[in-house]
């Protein structure tokens, strides 16, 4: 079941839910991809998702889903 862990992040234009899948709304592009780190372009800079066995899926207009064992989210 998806659970919002950082609801205040909505103000940044993105929505993150769950620890196994992060749905990033307002994604402008993909900067970098590897199984350990995904860096996504968002309106205010970059969002780095770190973890293990990460994989990506298009989840609708301007949305990207990052799935895997997520360890950290960092705004750069």
Partner 1 sequence: MGKIYEYLRGSYTVTARAESVCRALNVLMKNNVPFYGVKAEGGGLVGFCLEPDAFRKYVALTAEMTIEDERVTRRGLFAFASGYKMRIGFFIGAVLCAALLAASSFFVWDINVSGQTGLSEKEILKTLEGYGLYIGAYIPNIDTMRLENELVIDTEELSYASINLRGTVAEVVVRERKEKDVENISLPSNLVANCDGQIESIEVRGGMPTVKKGQIVKKGQLLVSGVIDSQAVGYRLVRARGEIYARISRSFTAEVPLVREKKSRTGEKKTRVTIRFFAKKINLFSNNDISFEKYDTIEEEKRLCLFDRVELPVFIIKTTYSEYVTETEKISEEQALSIAEKELAGQTEKTLSEAQILAREERTEINDGILTLYADIDCIADITSEIFIKTDGEK
Which CB sits closer to partner 1, 3 or 61? 61
Vertex 66: Cα angle to 59 and 27 (nearest 5): 60
Three-class SS state of 14: coil
Among 19, 57, 69, 71, binds partner 1 (CB under 8 A): 57
Which CB sits closer to partner 1, 12 or 67? 67
Three-class SS state of 34: coil
| C-beta of residue 2 within 8 angstroms of C-beta of residue 21 | yes
- Rounded least distance, CB 53 to partner 1, Å: 8
* Site membership for partner 1, residue 62 (CB under 8 A): yes
Which CB sits closer to partner 1, 7 or 20? 20
Closest to 65 in 3D by CA, of 35, 24, 15, 28: 24
* Site membership for partner 1, residue 30 (CB under 8 A): yes
């Amino acid at each position: 079941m998806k659970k919002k862990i950082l609801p205040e992040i909505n103000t940044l234009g993105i929505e993150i839910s769950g620890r196994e899948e992060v749905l990033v709304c307002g994604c402008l592009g993909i900067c970098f991809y590897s199984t350990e780190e995904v860096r996504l372009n968002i309106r205010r800079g970059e969002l780095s998702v770190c973890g293990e066995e990460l994989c990506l899926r298009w989840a609708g207009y301007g949305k990207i889903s990052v799935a895997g064992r997520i360890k950290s989210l960092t705004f750069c």
